[in-house]
């Protein structure tokens, strides 16, 4: 298990313990974050967009070109934006902190 922290646009930071090997998207959804993840990790939607804390950004495996291309289409992209479906949790990510962008919405609600 690793501890992940999510910072929603409004409200307090949410912490959750997530299993190693699941994606950051799955961890966020499990923690009740409004990450839609419409394409379920196929890199076809960008609704799983998160903004990684600057301290953590360089410690994550680099984004693929496909991920960068998809991020270009996401709303409100910042320098440390990533697609959470493309980040598989590993032991080294204990304490990872990400913000949920403003435009994130969960259509299923
Ligand atoms: Fe669609 Fe991540 S879930 S790009």
Domain encompassing residue 75: 2-99
Tokens 């609600």 correspond to 109
Q: Which residues pair with 5 in a beta bridge?
A: 15, 97
Number of domains, the chain: 1
In a domain, 105, yes or no: no
Does residue 32 belong to any structural domain of this protein?
Answer: yes
For the chain, 109 residues long, give each residue's pLDDT as a single digit of tens.
999 999 998 889 999 999 999 999 999 999 999 999 999 999 999 999 999 999 999 999 999 999 999 999 898 899 999 999 999 999 999 999 999 998 655 444 4
- Residue 81 inside a domain? The answer is yes
In a domain, 106, yes or no: no
Closest-lying ligand 1 atom to the alpha carbon of residue 70: 4
Shortest-distance atom of ligand 1 to CA 37: 3
Cβ-Cβ contacts under 8 Å for 62 (sequence gap 6 or more): none
Task: List pocket residues of ligand 1, CB cut-off 6 Å.
Answer: 25, 37-41, 43-48, 70, 83, 85
Question: Does the residue 109 lie in any domain?
Answer: no
Name the β-bridge partners of 35: none
Decide if 35 is inside a domain: yes
Nearest to 42 by CA among 57, 29, 25, 27: 25
Residue to mutate, 43, 65, 104, ligand 1, most ligand atoms under 8 Å from C-beta: 43
Report which ligand 1 atom has the smallest distance to the Cα of 49.
2
The pTM score is: 0.92
| CATH code for position 52 | 3.10.20.30
């Amino acid at each position: 298990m690793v501890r992940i922290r999510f910072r929603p646009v409004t409200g307090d930071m949410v912490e959750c313990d997530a299993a190693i090997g699941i994606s950051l998207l799955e961890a966020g959804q499990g923690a009740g974050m409004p990450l839609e993840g419409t394409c379920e990790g196929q890199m076809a939607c960008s609704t799983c967009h998160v903004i990684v804390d600057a301290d953590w950004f360089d410690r994550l495996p680099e984004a693929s070109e496909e991920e960068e291309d998809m991020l270009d289409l996401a709303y409100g992209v910042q320098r440390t934006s990533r697609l959470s479906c493309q980040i598989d949790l590993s032991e080294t990510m204990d304490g990872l902190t990400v913000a949920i962008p403003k435009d994130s919405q969960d259509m299923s609600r």
